[in-house]
Amino acid sequence: MTTPDTTPSESTTPSEPEFLEKLRELTAQSWNLELIISGAALFATLSLPDLMDNLFTYYRYNLMTDNDYIHEALPAQSLGLIKGVCYILFGAFLANFVMRAFWIGLVGLLAAYPKGIQYDQIYRLSKYSQKRLSTEMGSLPDYIILLDRRCNVVFALAFSLVLLFLSVAAAYILFILIETGLQLLVPDSLYETVRTVVGWILGLIVIGFAVVVTILNTGRFRDNERYAPLVFRLTEGFSILFLGMYRPLLYIVYTFYSQIPEQTLKKRLVSILGVLFAAEMVFMIYQVLYTQNTTDLLDARSYMTMRDPTRTTNANSFDNLRAPDQFIDKASIQSDVIREPYVRLFISYPKSLDKELAKRFKEPGWPDNLPRKVRREKKAAWYLKSMESYFSVYLNDSLYNSPGLLFTKRADNGQLGLTTVLLTKNLKEGRNMLNVMVPDSVNKPQTYYQIPFWYIPEN
């Protein structure tokens, strides 16, 4: 008996109807897994902002080489975008979780009462109300299907905005990496010129490309058979700016475009995405203001300001008030109320300080025949001497000419910096001021950081 000749692909590949049916079954059975994922994602998305804050703090103190806009504000904007993405996803997961739980309740209710809502059997309703509600609300199965679709649409809308903002954040990060690469490769004397030229070139390329794509996508060129292939290739080339997120975004956007009428789609997208976009911008702006320590602009009181350090206490400046793992902004002492006969001072050493110190101090050329141990000791002594020439420490009006700075690594958070102990024998009881001063461009002392504190000696 002969058997029909079949190829492996013909025997294993399901037909189109079978594939669609399996996809429907998988979708119908995925709600329980969807609830589990949503619950886990609610916890994960709320944990990510704290992790991002820690990474950003580590970057500012250990990797950031300059305090300009690109190295400080752009990373803060990227962080704000990513944190906003986390909160948008949290909102989407929470909305989906609640709607899906309600959907499960309705499915169970329909199983108990298969006939659903029988409007003509509802007592205490007039015939008009029964007819009106029947028209407006429809049947229970129809509403269950509608609710299921809305659960899926919530995810699609949220992820479309998430992909968009992640691509913007990725573009920011790429720009920062290019800037850092130029800083490492180009000599200091040519750095500013090369940076300006490269910035203008990249800006003109991006703007020009966007303008050309926009013009060619108008109906006059887009629908012309002669220009259509060029328009398509340029549009696909524009996807480079999305850094790998363009294709996933198209699956969501084009599905909406092909299923929803244009006017209806525009109204929904403008209302929903507009609100999410505004929320994302708030997150980004707040993060930039927080990085610049100007968040009080958003919460101003008529007779209060947090902008004058001589009349403001900052918990970050005191070891007893600051969280143990929190990095120190610029300097700190052991407590806001000093009772010991000394002040233990710590001055942080962020990576960005390297550039300023390199402008002022030229390391001596050490002889090649020096033993490694001797060379290390001489370097350490010269580094500390340079630091004491750069930092001036005052307690009220008293200058410490030789504060005796030493390099240290804090045990609580691993932060690198300088430490010393200042005697308090000349301090007055009550409020005092510790000032750390640095020279400006013409070597005139200017305030680097101020710490107001109270001195109440033990009796």
Write down the domain spans for the chain. Answer: 22-185+260-307, 193-257, 311-455
**pLDDT for the residue numbered 452:** 93
**pLDDT for the residue numbered 3:** 44
Backbone conformation region of residue 243, classed left if phi is above 0, alpha if psi is from -120 to 50, else beta:
left
pTM beyond cutoff 0.85: no
Q: What is the pLDDT of residues 242-257, one digit of tens each?
A: 666 777 777 777 777 7
311-455 CATH: 2.60.40.10
**pLDDT for the residue numbered 27:** 55
What is the separation of C-alpha 225 from the centre of its chain, rounded to a whole number of angstroms? 44
Any bridge partners for residue 347, and if so which?
331, 418
Q: What is the pLDDT of residues 30-41, one digit of tens each?
A: 566 666 766 777
**pLDDT for the residue numbered 455:** 93
Phi, psi of 418 (to 5 degrees): -120, 145
CA distance 383 to 377: 10
Contacts of 435 (CB under 8 A, 6+ apart): 393, 394, 395, 447, 449, 450
Instruction: Look up tokens 């800006």; give the residue.
Output: 203
Strand-strand pairing, 337-338 and 445-455: parallel
User: Would you give per-residue pLDDT tens digits along the chain (459 residues)?
Assistant: 444 444 444 444 445 566 556 555 555 555 666 667 667 777 777 777 788 888 888 888 887 777 777 777 778 878 877 887 788 778 888 888 888 888 888 888 888 888 888 888 888 888 888 888 888 888 888 888 888 888 777 777 777 777 777 777 887 788 788 877 777 777 777 777 887 888 788 788 878 877 877 787 777 777 777 777 877 777 776 666 666 677 777 777 777 777 777 777 677 667 766 776 676 677 667 666 666 666 555 556 667 777 777 788 888 999 999 988 889 989 999 999 999 999 999 999 998 888 888 888 888 888 888 888 998 999 999 999 999 999 999 998 888 878 889 999 998 888 999 999 998 877 889 999 999 999 887 788 899 999 999 999 887
What's the CA angle centered on 415, arms 413 and 416, to 5 degrees? 155
Share of the chain above pLDDT 90, in %: 16
Q: What is the pLDDT of residues 62-104, one digit of tens each?
A: 877 777 777 777 788 788 778 877 887 788 888 888 888 888 8
CA distance 243 to 168: 9
Q: Is the dihedral of CA 156, 162, 165, 169 positive or negative?
A: negative
CA distance 222 to 160: 25
